[in-house]
Amino acid sequence: MIRQTVVTPIYLFAWLVVLPSIGLGTDIGSDALELYSAQLKPLFRARCFSCHGALKQEAGLRLDSADLMVDAGVLTRGDVSDSSIVARVTATDIDERMPPEHEGEPLTGEQVELLSAWIAAGAPAPPDERPETDPNSHWSFQPVVRPDVPIVENTTWVRNPIDAFI
């Protein structure tokens, strides 16, 4: 009886505390992914998308997905020193610094550190991340185009061109 009362709390402790924590080591990839999703993507949205988003792409640059940053050459996964995005947000030259002086305050030291840590960890992004779509590309904003009238086998019942679509 004594053995059962001592062993049960030990097993309970192992199941509730020790075993779950074994897999909770510092997984840099998932931490960096969480950092991007929770802090950096909202930072980019607030500070960068007005000039480098779906509606407007200054210098042809979009920052609304990590893959677009890599494709544009401003982000080199795992290499902070080769990522020009870090050089631009830390530039002392007002003409080079992002965001520009008239667009807002420079990023804080903490924000730059977060960006650098994310890049150093390989700049992971969610696998299903998609760039934001341009609202002007919605079908309702497209010009109306008259479709070609289809050719029908039995032309005797077509009294009006619209009948060919039925």
Cis peptide before 150 (omega within 30 of 0): no
- What domain range includes position 48? 27-127
Number of domains in the chain: 1
With respect to residue 83, please indicate whether it lies within any of the assigned structural domains. Answer: yes
Mean per-residue pLDDT of the chain:
83
pLDDT digits (tens, 9 = 90+) for 36-49: 999 999 999 999 98
User: What's the pLDDT score for residue 30?
Assistant: 80
pLDDT digits (tens, 9 = 90+) for 67-98: 999 999 999 999 999 999 999 999 999 899 99
With respect to residue 164, please indicate whether it lies within any of the assigned structural domains. Answer: no
Q: Comparing 13 with 44, which gets the higher pLDDT?
A: 44
- Tallying the residues shown for the chain, one arrives at 166
16-38 mean pLDDT: 63
User: What's the pLDDT score for residue 83?
Assistant: 94
User: What's the pLDDT score for residue 9?
Assistant: 47
Residue 142 to residue 157: CA distance in whole angstroms: 33
User: What's the pLDDT score for residue 142?
Assistant: 87
With respect to residue 41, please indicate whether it lies within any of the assigned structural domains. Answer: yes
With respect to residue 8, please indicate whether it lies within any of the assigned structural domains. Answer: no
With respect to residue 156, please indicate whether it lies within any of the assigned structural domains. Answer: no
Burial class (CB in 10 A: 0-12, 13-18, 19+), 62: buried
- pLDDT tier for residue 116 given thresholds of 50, 70 and 90: very high
With respect to residue 3, please indicate whether it lies within any of the assigned structural domains. Answer: no
Which of 78, 48, 81, 80 has the alpha carbon at shortest distance from 63?
48
With respect to residue 117, please indicate whether it lies within any of the assigned structural domains. Answer: yes
CA dihedral 125, 128, 133, 139 (to 10 degrees): 170
143 to 9, 10, 33, 48, 139: CA distances (angstroms)? 72, 72, 40, 30, 9
Burial class (CB in 10 A: 0-12, 13-18, 19+), 48: buried
